[in-house]
Structure 1
Amino acid sequence: MNNTLPVISLTDLSIAFIPVIIALGFLYLWSLNVKQAGYALSRMLIQLLLIGYVLSYIFYSDNVWLISCILLAMIAMSCWIALRTLPQYRLVLFKYGFIATLGGGGFTLLVISQGAMSVTPWYQPQVIIPLAGMIFATAMNSISLSAERIFAEINNKTPYPLARKMALNAATIPVINSLFAVGLVSLPGMMTGQILSGVSPLIAARYQVIVMCMIFASSILSAVLFLLLSGTEMKKIIAEHDQPQP
């Protein structure tokens, strides 16, 4: 098996944008928000190129405080992004999202890194940051879906216990779909990357099992914690909605 991956030049990288430009063309022809898509793609390109340089520095560092600050910053940014669809309550709910991500995602990261993978030291950046990125991104999506759904149900006058149940169900749909599809419809990014780098598919599959377990757990635990912690605030919002309008 060839263990050497080809180096991607800037010219090769530009070729990847050919289908992207065609896709943007269809968005424009169908009068969809092509500016938002273009902005998102531009941000993606800039962020990934910058993070490549930043990670090159971080991976050579051996500073526990630096890694800890990076993890907390990742949690804060993921929570802020997760609540972007609820601008009116974003600041109020941010603390609940932060604690939920720290609790659900942080607990999962601890078990996976120290139990399943025995990372030493625990703050080894080459391992802990990619794992944390996958975990916190999953928690972010889960919190975002649950928050948006519970507010939709509140607006529809759904009783709070049922609204909370429906919100958690909505948050679990993407991760459960990914469990059904993995290995049949798609080979996930981590497994694909390992296979491309020459790792045995059998070993890559074991790592992917760990990844899927941590994604499933962090998604549900973070959503449950968010819904439980924000319960009092949600009930206040329900009371405000139930007040007669002047």
Structure 2
Amino acid sequence: MTYIDLGFTDLVIAALLLVANGAVSLWFRLGLERTIAISAVRMIVQLSVVALALKWIFALNSPVWTVLFALFMAAAAGYEVVARQERRVGGIAAMALGAGAPFAAGLIATIFAMVAVIGPDPWYAPRYVLPIFGMMLGNALTGTSLVLDTMSSSAVRDRLAIEARLALGASRYDALRPNLRRALTTGSMPILTAMAATGVVSLPGMMTGQILAGIDPVSAAKYQVMILMLIAGSTGLAVVAAGIGSVLLLTDERHRLRLDRLSLL
């Protein structure tokens, strides 16, 4: 089996399904036509720019440009985390936590994959590092967003119970423990659900892409198993870091609940 290249006409034909979505929105008066169009254009532009940037970085094979592009991805992840919050802590701390948790978790998982599992030469080859780091970062971002959103909303909802625990002498971690446990569970659910459904309900994107590119299905499955394990590990690290960080953001050093730091978007 050989790789089948897609032309511009093929992409236009594929876009017809998106046009059908717009027609459905018009028919039922959902008001999503503009959102669908903007999202599609944004996706095309972003992927085109990233593809050209990656092609250039791959040709350079430079660790400096690899790190710079990874930092750019982390900054974009931090913005997305903050943008997804219904209530968020103001200031640079929230942005730092939103970017730092998925970045650190994704970096650890990527370095582990490069050094201990895949072992490319050199180990920092951007052709391997950036795609894997992107998958780690994207899934860790989802987990981080869910944790922060759950922590802030549940802290507002359970304010009286939390302040009662604090008044009885509990530390901020003990007072927020039920909320933290719920947030960690919520943040871990997407990857756990994906792992449980993989192979039975769906074929993941990486495996599907490799098969379409002509890779043996067994080899593609091995890579997919490795990626899912790495994603689960990095998401777990990001979720825990985000949960602990959110406890610190929602309280102060005197173990007081500080909901005044929250702003409604």
Q: Does the 8 A contact of 1:155 with 1:241 survive in 2?
A: no
* Alpha-carbon distance in 1 for matches of 2:203, 2:259: 47
Q: Superposition pairs for residues 21-100 of structure 1, below 5 Å?
A: 21-28=19-26, 29-86=28-85, 88-89=88-89, 91-100=92-101
Give the secondary structure class of the aligned counterpart of 1:5.
coil
Amino acid of the residue matched to residue 36 of structure 2?
Answer: A
- Post-superposition offset of 1:107: 1.0
* Alpha-carbon distance in 1 for matches of 2:33, 2:184: 31
- Post-superposition offset of 1:183: 0.6
- Residue in 1 that maps onto 2:102: 101
Q: Does the 8 A contact of 1:143 with 1:223 survive in 2?
A: yes
Give the secondary structure class of the aligned counterpart of 1:132.
helix
Amino acid of the residue matched to residue 133 of structure 2?
Answer: A
- Residue in 2 that maps onto 1:210: 226
* Alpha-carbon distance in 2 for matches of 1:56, 1:20: 28
* Alpha-carbon distance in 2 for matches of 1:186, 1:40: 24
- Post-superposition offset of 1:32: 4.1
Q: Does the 8 A contact of 1:112 with 1:214 survive in 2?
A: yes
- Residue in 1 that maps onto 2:138: 137
* Alpha-carbon distance in 2 for matches of 1:239, 1:82: 21
- Post-superposition offset of 1:171: 0.9
Give the secondary structure class of the aligned counterpart of 2:192.
helix
Q: Does the 8 A contact of 1:100 with 1:226 survive in 2?
A: yes
Of the three residues 4, 8, 11, the one matched with 2:9 is: 11
- Post-superposition offset of 1:220: 1.5
- Residue in 1 that maps onto 2:124: 123
- Post-superposition offset of 1:85: 2.6
Output the TM-score relative to the length of structure 2: 0.84
- Post-superposition offset of 1:88: 4.8
* Alpha-carbon distance in 2 for matches of 1:222, 1:184: 27
Q: Does the 8 A contact of 2:63 with 2:126 survive in 1?
A: no
- Post-superposition offset of 1:118: 1.0
User: Is 1:240 aligned with 2:241?
Assistant: no
Q: Does the 8 A contact of 1:78 with 1:140 survive in 2?
A: yes
The Cα offsets for residues 20-67 of structure 1, whole Å up to 9 and x where unpaired, read as: 111122233242443233222211011112222222111101221111
Q: Superposition pairs for residues 151-166 of structure 1, below 5 Å?
A: 151-157=152-158, 159=162, 160-166=176-182
* Alpha-carbon distance in 2 for matches of 1:33, 1:234: 35
Give the secondary structure class of the aligned counterpart of 1:31.
coil
* Alpha-carbon distance in 1 for matches of 2:24, 2:89: 35
Q: Cα RMSD (Å) of the superposition?
A: 2.0
Give the secondary structure class of the aligned counterpart of 1:16.
helix
- Residue in 2 that maps onto 1:186: 202
Q: Give 5+ residue unaligned stretches, structure 2.
A: 163-175
- Residue in 1 that maps onto 2:171: none
How many percent of aligned residue pairs carry the same amino acid?
Answer: 24
- Post-superposition offset of 1:150: 1.1
Q: Superposition pairs for residues 161-180 of structure 1, below 5 Å?
A: 161-180=177-196
- Post-superposition offset of 1:15: 0.6
* Alpha-carbon distance in 1 for matches of 2:120, 2:70: 16
Aligned length: 240
Q: Does the 8 A contact of 2:147 with 2:183 survive in 1?
A: yes
* Alpha-carbon distance in 1 for matches of 2:100, 2:33: 35
Q: Does the 8 A contact of 1:104 with 1:222 survive in 2?
A: yes
- Post-superposition offset of 1:193: 1.4
* Alpha-carbon distance in 2 for matches of 1:196, 1:240: 50
Output the TM-score relative to the length of structure 1: 0.90
